[in-house]
């Protein structure tokens, strides 16, 4: 089967450390080029990974020998470059969060629909097997019926020049750390959640640095999420049931060689499950390829819009 030829639009750390090495490990892809705003940065990146260096994002988009663009740009730059890439008939794998707001997400998804192209957010954690193990434990009745989902994702302050503190670039904890907890809520409680309460706390530069939200579905099940950039490190979720509880201790960021721990608590018993290490960056790339090959785009459009709706609701209610 013909390889998907991929270009990388931007030289972010996540691309360098995790995503491009994963791309190179998969036979379905051929890495063609990487683009940066400066020739020097593009060349440095290209030398690392054995591909062509391109100065300027538009030049990469204009290349005729690329089918897919991986876009690790800050959220605030997404709309412009996504629309240009879709206009040039490129499928897109993009870092989360896709959009600054719901209307922007709608605009990008509508363009993808019109062009018949895949756009997919890089929520790699969804494709780690630990979550399937948790689902299996629930299906086996280990905790009875779900009563509550809770998730926390936060970390200590970042360097002050980090783009996550830049409002124009989409900075703030909501579009970053919160996005994981809200996406995980949908994984276990479904896609009919609505935000009922929310709080965002801002710093002196009007950047939301920590917050929380309460989400509820039509069956009355609810999710409590907390997130932040000024927090003791947490990266977990807990599912509380009628007969027990499950905790995923490293839910969102297990390294490829890390074995995540799941704890199951019941009335008379408590036990841990060590999940085999695996690379969720590779796993999501396989999912991307499968959807391109099958031209199965609608589920990913729906995921994007539902996620963007919930993030917008958090912002609106908190403000």
Q: Are residues 17 and 45 in the same domain?
A: yes
Angle formed at CA 194 by CA 193 and CA 198, multiple of 5 degrees: 125
- Same domain as 294, residue 236: no
**141: in domain:** yes
Over 90: is that where the pLDDT of 302 sits? yes
pLDDT band per the 50, 70, 90 thresholds, residue 176: very high
* Total domains, the chain: 2
Note the pLDDT tens digit of each residue in 117-139. 999 999 999 999 999 999 999 99
Q: H or E segment at 111? A: helix 102-115
Same-domain status, 37 and 160: no
Q: Is 96 a catalytic residue?
A: yes
Tell me, yes or no, whether 239 lies in a domain: yes
User: What's the pLDDT tens digit per position in 28-42?
Assistant: 999 999 999 999 999
pLDDT band at 169 (very low <50, low <70, confident <90, very high): very high
Whether pLDDT at 164 is above 90: yes
What is the reported pLDDT for 37?
Answer: 96
For the whole model, what pTM was predicted?
0.96
8 belongs to a structural domain: yes
- Give pLDDT tens digits for 304-317: 999 999 999 999 99
Marked catalytic residue, from 90, 96, 111, 300: 96
CATH number at residue 97: 3.40.50.720
Q: Please check whether residue 67 is in contact with residue 42, taking contact to mean a CB–CB distance below 8 angstroms.
A: no
Same domain for 155 and 31, yes or no, is: no
- Quote the DSSP letter at residue 154: E
What is the spatial distance between Cα 146 and Cα 108, in angstroms, rounded to a whole number?
35
149 and 97 together in one domain: no
What lies within 8 Å, CB to CB, of 116 at 6+ separation is: 295, 297
**β-strands 68-71, 4-9 pairing:** parallel
For residue 8, the model assigns a pLDDT of 98
Token pair listed for 314: 């958090």
What are the tokens at 17? 């450390």
Shared-domain flag, residues 150 and 73: no
In a shared domain, residues 288 and 153: no
Mark whether 140 and 236 lie in a shared domain.
yes
Instruction: Cite the DSSP H helix spans in 120-227.
Output: 129-139, 179-189
Task: State how far the Cα of 16 lies from the Cα of 12, in Å rounded to an integer.
Answer: 6
The parent domain of residue 190 ranges over: 125-278
pLDDT at 1 over 90: no
38 contacts 97 by C-beta, under 8 angstroms:
no
pLDDT, tens digit, for every residue of 281-296? 999 999 999 999 999 9
Reported as a single tens digit per residue, the pLDDT across 219-276 is 999 999 999 999 999 999 999 999 999 999 999 999 999 999 999 999 999 999 999 9
CA proximity to 198, closest of 213, 217, 182: 213
Which residue in this structure is represented by tokens 């490190």? 233
């Amino acid at each position: 089967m013909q390889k998907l030829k991929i270009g990388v639009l931007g030289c972010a750390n996540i691309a360098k450390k995790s995503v491009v090495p994963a791309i190179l490990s998969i036979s379905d892809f051929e890495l063609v080029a990487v683009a940066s705003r400066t020739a020097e940065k593009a060349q440095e990146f290209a030398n690392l990974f054995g591909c062509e260096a391109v100065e300027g994002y538009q030049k990469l988009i204009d290349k005729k020998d690329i089918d897919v663009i991986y876009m690790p740009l800050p959220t605030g730059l997404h709309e412009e470059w996504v629309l240009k890439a879709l206009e040039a008939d490129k499928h897109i794998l993009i870092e989360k969060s896709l959009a600054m707001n719901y209307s922007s997400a709608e605009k990008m998804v509508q363009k993808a629909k019109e062009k018949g192209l895949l756009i997919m957010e890089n929520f790699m954690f969804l494709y780690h097997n630990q979550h399937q193990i948790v689902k299996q434990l629930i299906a086996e009745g280990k905790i009875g019926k779900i009563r509550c989902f809770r998730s926390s994702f936060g970390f200590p302050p970042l360097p002050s020049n980090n783009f996550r503190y830049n409002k124009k670039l989409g900075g703030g904890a909501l579009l970053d750390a919160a996005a994981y907890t809200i996406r995980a809520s949908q994984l276990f409680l479904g896609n009919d959640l609505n935000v009922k309460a929310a709080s965002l706390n801002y710093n002196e530069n009007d950047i939301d640095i920590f917050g929380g939200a309460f989400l509820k579905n039509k069956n009355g099940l609810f999710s409590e999420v907390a997130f932040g950039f000024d927090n003791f490190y947490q990266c977990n979720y807990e599912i509380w049931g009628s007969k027990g509880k499950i905790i995923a201790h490293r839910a969102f960021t297990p390294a490829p060689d890390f074995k995540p721990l799941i704890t199951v608590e019941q009335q008379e018993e408590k036990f841990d499950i060590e999940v085999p290490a695996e690379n969720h960056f590779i796993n999501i790339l396989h999912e991307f390829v499968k959807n391109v090959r099958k031209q199965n785009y609608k589920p990913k459009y729906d995921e994007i819009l539902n996620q963007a709706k919930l993030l917008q609701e958090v912002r609106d209610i908190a403000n």
